[in-house]
Structure 1
Amino acid sequence: MLEITVRTEDDASHPRVSAEALAELVRRIGERKDRFLVVERMPDEPDVYVQVWHEEGGEYTLEHRDGGPDKHFQALLDGPEPVITAMTAWARREPGWGEGLEWEALELG
């Protein structure tokens, strides 16, 4: 089990999911009212999370935040598999979990 909580667009909460369950949640998003997941570590660390947004037929927008608004980044991905790989590595606190992705700073206005 991963020491994370996954929240879905319908405000359901999935604590301590397995890597396989996280992958299933990522693969299912895209439909109306089921387009994003927010993943937070346990115990919760303020302003530290990874999340994904996807509408069927479009790209996956993967975001991560590691503190203040100047540490909020996004990457666009073509499919669920690289999202699953990155989110699982993030949840496991693997060093270099986001390497190889094209991160851009996210301006929140």
Structure 2
Amino acid sequence: MVGEAALGRLSPENWFAVLDRGDHYVQAGFGEQAATRGGWFALEHREGLPDRHFRTEVADRAHLVRAFTGFAAADDNWRRECEWQRLNF
């Protein structure tokens, strides 16, 4: 799977991963370094402009794998698994 090995290595020392297609991307961060609870993951995606940047927090690494794999395959079903909040920059 796309990024499964990299996402499996997320830790306090290696806390960030990103996969992009131009101005669209999905990214994950681990724990407090990513402004989430210890042991949890921040999952974000952006669809071009800053007003299309969304974030959620998940405890299960499998969510990250599905998001990165779905993003790579241009399959948007992974977005339905979580409640997303738009970030304002």
TM range (shorter): 0.7 to 0.9
Residues 7-26 of structure 1: pairs in structure 2 closer than 5 A: 19=1, 22-26=3-7
Alpha-carbon distance in 2 for matches of 1:98, 1:83: 11
Per the normalisation by structure 2, the TM-score is: 0.83
- Structure with the larger RCO, 1 or 2 (CA within 8 Å, 6+ apart): 2
Aligned to 2:24: 48
Alpha-carbon distance in 1 for matches of 2:20, 2:25: 5
**CA-based RMSD:** 1.6
Question: Rg bigger for which structure?
Answer: 1
Per the normalisation by structure 1, the TM-score is: 0.69
Q: Which amino acid aligns with 1:66?
A: E
Q: Which runs of 4+ in 1 moved over 6 A?
A: none
Q: How many residues align?
A: 84
Q: Which runs of 5+ in 1 are unaligned?
A: 1-18
- Identity over aligned residues, as a percent? 32
Q: Which runs of 5+ in 2 are unaligned?
A: 33-37
Per the alignment, do residues 28 and 97 of structure 1 end up closer, same or farther by CA in structure 2, a change over 3 Å counting? same
